[in-house]
A and B are shown apart, each in its own frame.
Chain A
């Protein structure tokens, strides 16, 4: 019997707090119901099950959020998170929301939520929570992009939407800061969002748009061959090779395999990064994530191409460790992100 059908609850239960285990197992269960063997996806049930939160212009813990339609033809929404504007009224006016949080340099983090290209939205509760934290952590304005998802929208839709968001941010005067009135933009994402961050950064490098840094949290990469970590960890910590395969099939073009450069940027069909002004990267890898070999290969590939990489490897962390603030992994990784963003805020 394939490893994916073994129940390894005991192992995964020992490495995460119980409420984290419940949260991630619940996602796993729900997601299993949504993926159909024929490659279709129960989008209605997915939207029904997803826990969402509205934007909120009233400050909560010093952070406000509001949604912006950044590209009408594609109905591309983004949720903007920012430090609460310092005004007299409790409910900020629209003009306050559109004012720079400070004249001193501040980072703008364009965030791509995870969900293996198929799940979640910018208004999903788990990502709303994470983005708010980034604001407090880095004094940043966070732009969480509600990119089009698979299988309804395949490659390259997610990348196009990411690129549209970067262009939009470049055109907003209130997002510039410092004496040189520059957009100090970081691209960040978890799971599929990390993958998107890479590809948008690549396009930025090819187009001469400066990105201050990339933050990749458990980024989603893969390839045709089965790596050692995939075989070893298949089905053990919430994730299976089978589900990874399903999501790649859903996102990649019809007939493509997992060596497609979207999935495997340093594989046989990858784009050469040498000589490109590719940004600096903070690559965070969870030691119990079955695709870690691909993530490590990614970091390696960047290094070999002459680009700066800081690799943070959390040995006993599983996927989704950054969703609940209840482990050392969480706090220490947040600290790494804070330091990376702070030190690259040129």
Chain B
């Protein structure tokens, strides 16, 4: 199936560097193995010209790769000749083979050669997309079957106390900057938003730790970047203009001017511009109006920041409300469905032929991801494994046990489809509060269910949870160490595909404006034939989804420090982080891509949604702008102790 394969990375910011296109005096007629553009050591000797076109081939391997191409051609030609006279194509190679990472030519060609030379036994059919289950995810068809003979094994662990064993430092807000540049280090004037729980801890922030935080953007402004390359090219800003009206452009211009004023601490000008924006936005229609509204409100909040958080703020911060909006976001557009689908695909493949499996979900919420996985496991040709699900969720303000409720519903579903299922919920304010031993240990009453000596395969699943950890120095690293300790077979990570965590306020604002403009525009386009909701219900979903995104916008724009939890980063940045933490990529293949594309056709209205493959990861975007990225990871050989 998948090959163990070490990725060589060229640093953040996307799949590959663009080679110097203006180099008119470059080598002619021969393979170029020119000077690298500040790439890593293990990247040496990659053919630069091919790299610019998206193909990674080492110059030293070029002849080898050429030979493989020839071999494949011979093999295909002879098979075609044997098949029929006028068949110049070999459809089997396309339909049966699962392709991975087409950028890595050598490995891709190898996989096809081995397919052709030693035809494998017929592959098991890919897990069917249980469309009906997707529909009913939040209804949890409870079968009124025979009475439960034994209590479903659901336990919820009481809220954990944050351990004092480690030192968490909140990320300081950027200092009042001159010329819009962030000044690193401790600035007595900078606002340090410290939540009560951190008051016991030291409040100092060493310059080195804060510089590593802010420099993650990839903008080469002389700031030190963690890990790999030194001279990174400036971060790419993908812009998709969907509204070319004059008024739309003026609105964006006003928003940018406002953000610039905020950055320069010219609050009077900023305030005037906020009002101007409201006027402009009123004459707009469509998504741009709403986006402008949210951004203007967020700026206003930033200007008139109230500290500490008011009662209203705290009420609005309830996880229950968040889950509600999240549910509507799930319904109104395909992003979360894509996330769940692609992550489940990777988990299923990792679990193939395992009899005991354990899924740890870093953000259980309403458990929307899991009915489909349950169904797919139930339908496995080799029969379902016994599944243990650990769900993690935040404390609920009204003391309701939402985590337990979800577990119950899933247990009912599992029982109705014949999957042996155990569930456990963990309440934690932060993932960093967890310890690996907690996640791994089992309850006493499971003793009689253990299979003899069969190891449990573990999957760790994180859908839009990791970025929150970046609000506290060291939190992500701690969590990733914990994940390593759990010895997972697969780690699935889904994140917003954007850099909302680096550079200056203005940089962040610009990025967010482009990102959420595309997002909101895509909400208008969503719907799809398979949506069972009527027109009115769809509109309600959309309104709530917009509110869901609006809260994110507010957090990105108005908040700083520990409060700013929507610290989205790009696939390139996450790749770096995962690699440093001891993980290697597990590629998502053409089968996942195909099925995701087909699912999209079912659920999404309009052709604006695009699935793309980049370096073994899958992204879903609106037109040419990727908005959400799914990646899968394994513990790297080097990290195995």
Contacts and interface: CB of A to CB of B under 8 A. Distances in A.
Given A49-B99, A58-B235, A325-B26, A18 B593 contact: no
Q: Closest 6 interchain pairs by CB?
A: A51-B54, A54-B238, A66-B239, A125-B54, A33-B94, A44-B594
B81 A5 contact: yes
Nearest to A70: B244
Given A18-B66, A52-B612, A35 B54 contact: no
Contacts of A326: 26-30, 32, 49
A331 B26 CA distance: 10
A187 to B, nearest CB: 21
B81 A1 contact: yes
A240 interface: yes
Contacts of A95: 249-250, 252-253
B253 A94 contact: yes
B588 to A, nearest CB: 10
B20 interface: yes
B239 A94 contact: yes
Given A22-B57, A94-B239, A328-B29, 20 more contacts: A22-B66, A22-B105, A30-B102, A37-B84, A42-B94, A45-B99, A47-B597, A48-B590, A54-B236, A58-B236, A60-B21, A61-B21, A66-B239, A69-B242, A77-B624, A91-B510, A94-B249, A123-B624, A129-B18, A136-B22
B54 A53 contact: yes
Name the interface size band of chain A.
Answer: 35 or more
Contacts of A276: none
B239 A69 contact: no
B236 A22 contact: no
Contacts of B613: 48
A42 to B, nearest CB: 5
B370 to A, nearest CB: 26
B624 A25 contact: no
Interface in B32-81: 32, 47, 49-50, 52-55, 57, 62-63, 65-66, 69-70, 72-74, 76-77, 80-81
B102 A49 contact: yes
B88 interface: yes
Which among B18, B23, B233, B256 has the highest number of chain A CB atoms within 10 Å? B18
B169 interface: no
Interface in A84-100: 90-91, 93-95, 97-98
A18 B99 contact: no
B624 A51 contact: no
Which among B50, B103, B253 has the highest number of chain A CB atoms within 10 Å? B50
Contact of A69 (B87, B234, B240): B240
B623 interface: yes
A154 B264 CA distance: 54
B482 to A, nearest CB: 33
Which among A33, A42, A331 has the highest number of chain B CB atoms within 10 Å? A33
Contact of B240 (A36, A44, A55, A125): A55
Interface in A1-34: 1, 4-5, 7, 9, 13, 17-19, 21-23, 25-26, 28-30, 32-34
Interface in A224-259: 240, 242-243
B10 to A, nearest CB: 14
Contacts of B89: 32-33, 35-37
A133 B77 contact: no
A256 to B, nearest CB: 20
B608 to A, nearest CB: 6
A56 B238 contact: yes
A4 B103 CA distance: 27
A300 B28 CA distance: 32
Contacts of A52: 54, 612, 614, 624
A77 B31 contact: no
Contacts of A70: 244
A297 interface: no
Contacts of B86: 37, 242
Contacts of B128: none
A57 B237 contact: yes
B542 interface: no
Contacts of B219: 90
A23 B53 contact: yes
Contact of B590 (A45, A53, A77, A94): A45
Nearest to A51: B54
A70 to B, nearest CB: 8
A324 interface: yes
B24 interface: yes
Contact of A54 (B233, B252, B624): B624
Nearest to B521: A69
B53 A126 contact: yes
B488 to A, nearest CB: 26
B91 A325 contact: no
Contacts of A323: 53
Nearest to B507: A91
A132 interface: yes
A68 interface: yes
B80 A5 contact: yes
B57 A19 contact: yes
B235 to A, nearest CB: 7
B432 to A, nearest CB: 33
B597 A19 contact: no
A331 B105 CA distance: 27
Contacts of A18: 30-31, 62-63, 66
B542 to A, nearest CB: 18
A105 B618 CA distance: 43
A44 B241 CA distance: 26
B107 to A, nearest CB: 13
Contact of B14 (A1, A21, A54): A54
B624 A23 contact: no
Contacts of B159: none
Given A26-B55, A29-B69, A55 B31 contact: no
A344 interface: no
A57 B21 contact: no
Contact of B55 (A45, A51, A62): A51
Interface string A70-110: 10100101010000000000110111011000000000000
A132 B24 CA distance: 13
A129 B21 contact: yes
Contacts of B237: 56-58, 91
B73 A7 contact: yes
Contacts of B77: 5, 7
Nearest to A42: B94
B597 A26 contact: no
B277 to A, nearest CB: 14
B607 interface: yes
Given A60-B18, A69-B241, A325-B26, A94 B66 contact: no
Contacts of B239: 55, 57, 66-67, 94, 97
Contacts of B31: 17-19
Contacts of A21: 66
Contact of A48 (B14, B20, B55, B594): B594
